[in-house]
Amino acid sequence: MARFFTGNELNYELEKLFERADEQIILISPYIKLHDRYASVLRTKKDNPKIAITVVFGKNEDHLSKSMKQEDFNFFKDFPNIEIRYEKRLHAKYYSSESSAMLTSMNLYNFSQDNNIEAGVLTKATLLGDLASNILTNVTGEDSFDKTAIAYFQRVIQQSDLLFKKSPEFESTLLGLSRKYKFSKTEVDLLTDFFANRTKYDNNNRMDNYEKRQISSIPKVTKIKSETKIETELTKQVRADIKYLSTTALSKEIGLSSKELFVKFEQFNWIERKNNDWELTLKGKSKGAQTKKGQYGEYSAWPDSIVGELNNMR
């Protein structure tokens, strides 16, 4: 039977869904930043290797750390039986156990739970409900709402990218009638290195081959301290040798109108509109572009090396 919840009731029912789980927990949400109340409930499952936990998050392909915080990864990776997956197209929010499932507007994000107007539909499996569902399926030939949802989100899980997996190892006892937990083995871990080198990944994880070739040709410099870029003497020297072009001058070089070039740069996410002015994005700056001051105010200046790349894109 499906029930509709909002507000505090929605938070309460989701908390109970986690609390009552004995076999599996599935968390599918574009953004993961656990509220204390959910973290507290999930923490009670850490000593149970028989509960398989699957976490799928998404969005922010260029900056994964905006979709899952490091502290939440550190929390989840201590569970003995867990998978963490990524799906860049994810927008749906779905949470389930072996006996309940919730389809909702609410991210697994503390701000959403405390501030947003959210709603969700909860289904619970019961013997009577299963019987009714089977009868309805036989009569109409259609699956119930919860079975359709489960099948759909299983496909989402299977098609997502596996970033972390820890599996429990058991040994048979009592002549094979029982199993005793031994330890858990990390089989896949792409996230520990990501969070340890977050600045590097955030700046470079979506670079195309052209960018990688350009960077590999520049001698290595001292590692960036914290997240503030320190300009070395080498960087100054390289920058001094670069010829910069305004967007208008650049448009003449490649045979496009300046309007067409602005549109292309916006499509590439190299610039964005703010307060009726064009501003460079982080991706635009990664191309070597700078903001300079001219006679009529600030403008975006592009390295002349970008001409070849733009011509190859046409």
CA distance 141 to 133: 11
Nearest Cα to 65, choosing from 193, 206, 242, 194? 194
Give pLDDT tens digits for 141-189.
445 677 788 889 999 999 999 999 999 998 887 766 778 899 999 999 9
* Cβ pair 251, 240 in contact under 8 A: no
Cα gap 78→141, rounded to integer Å? 43
Q: What is the largest CA-CA distance in the chain?
A: 86
What does pLDDT average to over the chain?
79
**Could you say which of 3.30.870.10, 3.90.700.10, 3.40.1390.10, 3.20.20.70 is the CATH number of the domain covering 2-199?**
3.30.870.10
Q: Which residues of 170-183 are buried (b: 16+ CB within 10 A; e: fewer)?
A: eeeeeeeeeeeeee
pLDDT of residue 144: 66
Q: Place 125 in a pLDDT band, splitting at 50, 70 and 90.
A: low
Phi and psi, residue 152, nearest 5°: -65, -50
Among 5-14, 184-193, 237-246, whose mean pLDDT is lowest?
237-246
Beta-carbon-side half-sphere exposure of residue 140 (alpha carbons within 13 Å): 9
Dihedral sign for Cα atoms in the order 161, 149, 126, 18: positive
Model-level pTM? 0.59
Of the two residues 33 and 236, the one the predictor is more confident about is 33
The ranges assigned to domains in the chain are 2-199, 221-313
Q: Region 96-112: what's the mean pLDDT?
A: 90
Q: Please report, as a single letter, which amino acid is at residue 281.
A: T
pLDDT tens for 198-226 read: 655 555 544 344 344 443 444 443 333 43
Lowest-pLDDT range of 28-42, 68-82, 111-125: 111-125
Q: What interhelical angle do 127-140 and 145-159 show, nearest 10?
A: 90
Ranges 159-173, 267-281, 282-296: which has the least confidence = 282-296
